[in-house]
Amino acid sequence: MMNVAVVGAGVNGICCALSLAEKGCKVTIYESKTPFSETSSKSSKLLHGGIRYLESFQIKLVKEALADRAWWIRNAEQYTKINRFFIPIYKKKSRSRLKLFLGVKIYEWLACSNSLGESQYHSRKQTLALNPVLCSDGLMGSVSYIDVQMDDRGLSEWLMRKAKSVGVVIQENTPIKRVGLDGSITRVDGKEIKYDKVVNACGPWAKKLIDDSDLRSEYSFALLKGSHILIDRFLANPLVVQIPENDRIVFALPHNGRTLIGTTELKHEISDQINCSEQELMYLINAASSVFAEKLKTNEVAEVYAGLRPIVSTELKVEALSRATRESTIETIGNLTNVFGGKWTSAMRLGNTVSEKIVKSKEKIPC
């Protein structure tokens, strides 16, 4: 039985551990804090194909993610909610109606047999009737598509139960200081433990662990900070708000009786504090106010949070952040496997890919 250590208990780490254990490996996860306490709990709470990536022609990524979205619905339906998302169209402030309608239709078609419903165009009157929070000035109508919101806390607990049920051991509050190409890990207390294989699934901190271990990777990546705000307003349907100044979009989503608005994308250094800055707060308030009939005020913000996302890239310009790929990258050096990038929707696919590589590498070792 192969003995594997996974460093990092976010969604990628847990899915890697779960898949490895299901293939017969003995797996221990090491987490510096508590599982899902960092990036995995600080997302937009969506299981989606990434409709905005169609604009940069990342067709393969979107198609795969839509298939991954279907996996979560099949296997954890109780923690998913299928909703119709509306993209309001404003005169001189939006992409063209034709472009948006083609985009939502292509998104629907790429789902193939996993389609959740028809994408549609709505008149101005229909749009306001379905979304009374919207500002009517300059509104021309909207397009809509079907996507999925998730209960990330419920899904996290579900994944933890599944992992433990197949024998995964989870060591919380156990930071790892170093990893070795020989399969060793070193805890902060200095204790070294030897494994057959080690998976570095530390998310935004994956590169730091490599650097701290005096190892080198052929990949580099930028860190993006994404911030969200929660406001005490009722929202009937999810909204996709277009930001004409930089071609970005911001989601406004119903969430536990509140409205969740996000996200920002700012370059971030791993040593900097992870919080929602005043600049990001105002960006999100202004984004929502650009389509809300009743403008949002700062004193309406009930909660804020921020998380980091690693983007695999050798050079990432600020103006290209929203178009940068979210595809994951897997790197194997000796007995160490580094996992870079990824997202909630595709985490199980990533976990299966990592486990297949590791199990096959063991099978190739001659007796």
pLDDT digits 0-9 by tens, 344-358: 999 999 999 999 999
pLDDT score for 318: 47
Angle CA 238–244–248, to nearest 5: 55
pLDDT score for 364: 57
d(CA 342, CA 346): 7
Q: Where are the beta strands (DSSP E) in 162-247?
A: 169-171, 176-179, 184-187, 192-194, 197-200, 221-231, 239-243
Q: Domain map of the chain by residue range?
A: 3-40+153-220+326-363, 46-128+137-150, 221-312
Does the pTM exceed 0.75? yes
| Fold of the domain spanning 3-40+153-220+326-363 | FAD/NAD(P)-binding domain (3.50.50)
CA distances (Å), 205 to each of 47, 156, 290, 300, in order? 23, 20, 35, 33
What would the mean pLDDT of 179-201 be, rounded to a whole number?
97
pLDDT score for 366: 41
pLDDT score for 365: 47
Higher local confidence (pLDDT), 320 or 207? 207
Structure confidence by residue, pLDDT tens digits, 255-297: 999 999 999 999 999 999 999 999 999 999 999 999 999 999 9
Cβ(233)–Cβ(255) under 8 Å?
no
Give the pLDDT band of residue 312 (cuts 50, 70, 90).
Answer: confident
pLDDT score for 321: 52
pLDDT score for 325: 58
What would the mean pLDDT of 19-42 be, rounded to a whole number?
96
Cβ(313)–Cβ(33) under 8 Å?
no
What would the mean pLDDT of 10-24 be, rounded to a whole number?
98
Q: Mean pLDDT for the chain?
A: 93
Percent of the chain with pLDDT over 90: 88
Nearest to 331 by CA among 210, 205, 192: 210
Nearest to 114 by CA among 153, 80, 88: 80
pLDDT score for 131: 98
Cβ(145)–Cβ(54) under 8 Å?
no
What would the mean pLDDT of 136-140 be, rounded to a whole number?
97
Q: Residue 192: is its pLDDT beyond 80?
A: yes
Q: Residue 320: is its pLDDT beyond 70?
A: no
pLDDT score for 311: 85
pLDDT score for 322: 52
d(CA 57, CA 60): 8
Range scoring the smallest mean pLDDT among 80-89, 198-207, 239-248:
239-248
Say if domain 221-312 classifies as CATH 3.40.710.10.
Answer: no
Cβ(6)–Cβ(201) under 8 Å?
yes
